Amino acid sequence: MIIPIILSGGAGTRLWPLSWGDHPKQFLPLVTKNTMIQETLLRLKGLELGAPIISCGEDHRFMVAQQIGEVSEVKPTILLEPMAKNTAPAIAAACCAAMKQDKDAVVVVLPSDHVIADKEAFQKAVLTAANNAAQGYLVTFGIVPTFPATGYGYVKAAGDESDGAFTLEKFVEKPCLEKAQEYLASGEYAWNSGMFVFKAAIFLEELKTFNPEMAELSIQAFEKAVVDTDFIRLDKDSFGQIKGDSIDYAVMEKTSKGRVVKLNAGWDDVGSWSALYDISQKDENQNVIKGDDVITLDTTSSYIRGGKRTIATIGLDDVVIVDSDDSLLIAAKGKIQDVKKIAEIIKSRS
């Protein structure tokens, strides 16, 4: 049995104005009729699963309960993080919850905001990773790169493939273009997916080895948690003392038990509107049009997402237009990464 751990603490400000504040991108139907968090759970359907564990913030608890309840007959465990402490403590507390279901639990840790086109390939990779995890390894998925990306971190896989996995040699930060081209040409590097499979107990053992204070406080935060109707509130005092860190830095870069399963399944982390454009179906003018009331004249290679108002464009190329109830974004597609700066400016005003 595999227990899903879904991390749902992100703000997703690079997809402003839709992803913002109380409605980050994981709760939005950006690609299909289902929201991103729903798709995260649905792509595991067909595997033998335990009750899902969702880690999120206080403000999103009801949204998580509602959206997961719409696609799952099994009641999830919803852990409420008192404050953001990055991924390692959240995963550690979730592993404690998984071991309440099964002391030998194998967990699959998934961000709640990724797109994976090939469900069958993904599930096959999960089963391969679970087989390695059962042997005591900590497995990450390395996305087979399709171009020299400078916006992703990488993992280096070493040695020969064994049981469908490679030895995890090292993590590397987002590279410059020249390095990214070298990584692509070598065939040894893959994009760091941020998805993991391991035994909950093994992960906690490794965390105790490399960061005993974080391990102790994370376990304590779960053991002192308060059950509040459908939610488990992690202990604020214990969790608040943790010096936050990512799972990569806290454990995966230090462990000798790391393995990489290479994944080629149409993965994208949907980190920007231009990324959504890339993975969406285009019309005859290479436009992606979302919404019922969008009129385009002499407009090409653009992403246009309508809201309640009519949107009309004339003579535009390579732009992003996104309308929400209270904001309108108009940007050159090549500058769309700067939308995060707009979100920061708006936040500073409040």
Amino acid making up residue 251:
V
The tokens 């099994």 sit on which residue? 74
Closest CA to 16 of 343, 280, 323, 341: 343
3-state secondary structure of 131: helix
Q: Is pLDDT at 21 greater than 90 in this prediction? A: no
The DSSP bridge partners found for residue 141 are: 261
Domains of the chain plus CATH, in order, are 2-268 (3.90.550.10), 273-349 (no CATH)
Q: Which of 20-24, 121-125, 177-181, 199-203 has the lowest mean pLDDT?
A: 20-24
For 309-337, what is each residue's pLDDT tens digit?
999 999 999 999 999 988 999 999 999 98
Q: Is pLDDT at 20 greater than 80 in this prediction? A: no
CB atoms inside a 10 Å sphere around CB 47: 14
Predicted confidence at residue 270, as pLDDT, reads 86
For 172-217, what is each residue's pLDDT tens digit?
999 999 999 999 999 999 999 999 999 999 999 999 999 999 999 9
- Tell me the mean pLDDT in the region 261-269: 95
Kindly provide the residue ranges of all beta strands, DSSP E only, lying in the chain, ordered along the sequence: 2-8, 53-57, 77-81, 106-111, 115-116, 138-143, 154-162, 165-172, 189-199, 226-228, 231-233, 258-263, 267-268, 288-290, 294-297, 303-305, 311-314, 319-323, 328-332
For 54-97, what is each residue's pLDDT tens digit?
999 999 999 999 999 999 989 999 999 999 999 999 999 999 99
- Tell me the mean pLDDT in the region 34-59: 95
Predicted confidence at residue 292, as pLDDT, reads 86
